[in-house]
Chain A
Amino acid sequence: MCSLALVPADYTQMKINQMENKTMEGLQIVVCGTLVPDPLQTLEPVTTPTGPGLKNETMLPSVLDPWAAHSLYEAANLAKKVPGSKVYLVSLGPKAKLQQLMMTVAQKVPFELVAIDGTAGGFTDAMEVAKTLATAIEAIPGLDKTRLLVFGGCASASRDAGVTMQLIGEQLGITDQFVGVDEISMSDDGSFSVLERIEGGQYLASTCAGAPAVLAWATGSLPEPPNNPQVGMANMRFVMPALQKAQPAAVGVGGINFEKSEVPAQKRATRIVKDVSADVIAAEIVEWIKG
C-alpha cells in the first residue's frame, strides 16, 4: 500500500511493488501442441478425398509432437518459478486420439487442456491450423494478454513448416516472437531474456520487456518428466470435460494442390566390411575422408 505523500524513496518502493504484483499475478502460458505419429512407425502416404494422408492414419500410435512437448515441460517449469501462473495445453486433434494421448501426457506436468476436435495430420494448411488455434486461445476464459506467453514447438514433426506459431502470434496481435528457443529467464519485473538457435550452433540472445510474447521452442534443457500419477489425477479432472466440449474444426489442405506425395526409394547397395582389422578399416576411412 502506498502513502499519499510520496517521497522519492516511497515512490521507488511503490514501483517495485507494482512490478512485483505484475509477476505475482502470474503468467498465463498457453502451449500449442498436438499428436504426431510415433517416429518409430513406418509412414506411407495415401490419397484421400480431402488430400494426402497416411495409410492407417487413425490406427498409428501417436506421441505428443516432440518440440511442443519440450515447450510444455519448459512452460511447467516456468510456471513453478512464477507464482500464480497457469499452463494451458491447446490441442487440435481427433478427440479419441487426444484422449489416448492424454493418458500419458497428463501424467507429466500440471496443465488445463483446451481440446479442438479435428485432424492433426501434417498435410493441413498452417494458416487454417493457426486460425483455429488462435480462436481457441482467444476464447480461454479470463485470458489476459498482458500476462500471456504462447508456447509451442519451433516446427512439428508432421508438417515441419515452422510457421504456425508466428501465424498464431500475428492473429493474436503479438509482435514479440522468438523461434528455436532453448532458454528463457524471467526477471522480477516481468521482462525476460531468451536464447534462440541460429546458424552454426550459435544463439541469438535477446531481452524482451515482458508479456505478451510467442516462444516457439527447440529442445530447451529439461529432460522428459517422469510420469506422476498425482499430477495425472489432477489433470484428468479437466481433461475429460475439455474433451467432451471439444468443438469440431474444419481444418484442411486449404489452397494447397498436392500433385504428388511419395516415400522416395532410397535403398543403397551397402557394402558390409566384417572380420577385418581396425588398421585396415582405419586406412580405408582415412583414404575416403581425404579423397
Chain B
Amino acid sequence: MADILLVLHTGSDGSFSKGALESIATTVDLSSKLGGSFAVGVIGAGAGAAADTIAGCGAEKFYVVEDEAVAAPRYSSDVKAATALIQKAGAQIVLAPGSSRFARCMPGAAYRAGAQIDTHIVALAVEAGVLKAQRWYYRQRILTTLSRAARPWVLLIEGGIQPAWQGAAGVADAESVAVEFTDAELRTTIKGIESPATDAQTIRPDAALLFVAGAGWTKKQADGAYHIRDASNLIQGFLKKAGASLGSSKSLVDLQSDGQETLSFMSHMNQVGQTGTTPRHAKGLSTCCHGEEPHAVGWRFINERRAINMDANCGWAQGKADVVYIANAFEVIAKVNELLG
C-alpha cells in the first residue's frame, strides 16, 4: 500500500492540465522527503490512456475510474469516484490539484472517506518526520503552517507552487476501480462549457502579465469629462498587443452591476482581491487603482509589480509595487500601445 495517493482528473480532451502536472512534481518531492511510495488515481474520460502519459513519474501503482458518468465534472459522480479511489488506495496522505473540479468534490470525498481536508496549500515540508502544510487565512493576509495527526489527510495543492512534472510516458498498467452510479446520482446533467467569444476572452491564466484596471478609468478626468469609450479602447488595445490577462478592482466591476456606463467587456470574473481572485502571473501592472485589495491581496502571487496612478499619495501601491508611475494612465497606455505596435 502506498503512503501517498495523488488524485488527478483528465480534461475534456483526455489530457492533464498544467496544475495536474505540477501536483505530480509536488507528490514526487513529498514522497522523497517522507521516504515512502506513492500511487496515482485518475478520474475522467480517457483516464487509462492519460495514466500512460505519466507512467514514468515513479508511482508504484495507478488506479483509474473512467466510467461515462465521470466524463464531465459533476459533484455527485466525482465525489463517489474520488471516495472509491481514496478507499481503494488506503493511503494516509491524499494529494490533489486544487482545480475547480476537485475544489468542488474533494471535501465531500474526504467526508465520506472519514478523512480530514485542507485546501489552498502553498507549501509542504517534512520536519522531524512530521508533514507540515502552509496555507493562507483571511484571504492571503495571514500565512499559517499547520499539521494534523489524524489520517487520512486530504490536501488540495494550489497551482504555481512547483514547476510542472516532465517525464517519460510508458505503460501504467492502471487498475480500473469499479464504481456504480445510481440514477439519483445522475440528476444533474452537464450541458457544457460556456466561454466568452474569443475577442471578449480577457482572462488568460497563462499570460505573463496581469493588467489590473481600477475605477479611475471611469472617473471624471482633468477636463471634467468622462472618457469611458477611450478607456475601453485603450485597455482592449493593450490586452491584445501585450497578450495580457485582465484583472479589475471591485469598484470598477460593481459600477456595472449598479447599471452605470462602464467597460462592457469586464465582469466580476475579472475581479482580483479579497472577493475576487489572486491570480499567478510573472508580472502585474495596475492602472487607476487605489486600495489594498488590488495591490496587496490581488497581487499576492505576482512577482514583478508596477502601478500607474495620478495620486502620488496612493499609499497602498507604495511598499507593494516595485515601481509606481505618477502619471495619467490614459496618456501612458496610449503611448504604450503605440510602441507595442
Which A residues fall within an 8 A CB radius of B? Answer: 36-37, 39-40, 43, 45, 52, 54, 66-67, 122-123, 126-127, 157-163, 166-167, 169-171, 175-180, 182, 193, 195-210, 218-219, 221-223, 255-264, 266-276, 278-279, 281-283, 285-286, 288-289
Contact = CB atoms under 8 A, between A and B. Distances in A.
A289 B137 contact: no
Interface residues of B, number: 97
A274 B191 CA distance: 53
A207 B189 contact: yes
Interface string B128-164: 0000100011110111111111100000000000000
B103 A206 contact: no
Contacts of B318: 270, 272
A273 B150 contact: no
Nearest to A287: B339
B143 A263 contact: yes
> Chain A CB within 10 Å — which of B17, B142, B333 has the most?
B142
A171 B112 CA distance: 10
Given A167-B111, A261-B137, A270 B335 contact: no
A218 to B, nearest CB: 7
B139 A157 contact: yes
B104 A166 contact: yes
Given A180-B100, A200-B205, A272-B312, A208 B188 contact: yes
Nearest to B338: A282
B111 to A, nearest CB: 4
B319 A270 contact: yes
10 contacts: A166-B108, A199-B99, A200-B203, A205-B190, A263-B142, A267-B319, A282-B338, A285-B306, A285-B332, A289-B242
A177 B139 contact: no
A196 B188 CA distance: 13
Contacts of B166: none
A55 B324 CA distance: 32
Q: Classify the secondary structure of B's interface with A.
A: mixed
A37 B319 CA distance: 23
A186 to B, nearest CB: 15
B256 to A, nearest CB: 9
By secondary structure, the A interface counts as: mixed
Nearest to B270: A201
Given A163-B117, A201-B203, A272 B324 contact: yes
Given A175-B76, A260-B145, A160 B139 contact: yes
A51 B17 CA distance: 37
Contacts of B205: 199-200
Contacts of B285: 285, 289
Contacts of B147: 256-257, 259
B148 A257 contact: yes
Contact of B209 (A163, A178, A273, A289): A289
Contact of B100 (A40, A199, A205, A222): A199
Interface stretch (B24-32, B194-202, B212-220): B194-202
Interface string B107-122: 1101110001111100
Contacts of B327: 273, 276, 278, 281
B149 A202 contact: no
Given A175-B79, A208-B187, A289-B242, A273 B138 contact: no
Interface in B76-109: 76, 79, 99-101, 103-105, 107-108
Contacts of B69: none
Contacts of A193: 191
Contacts of A218: 268
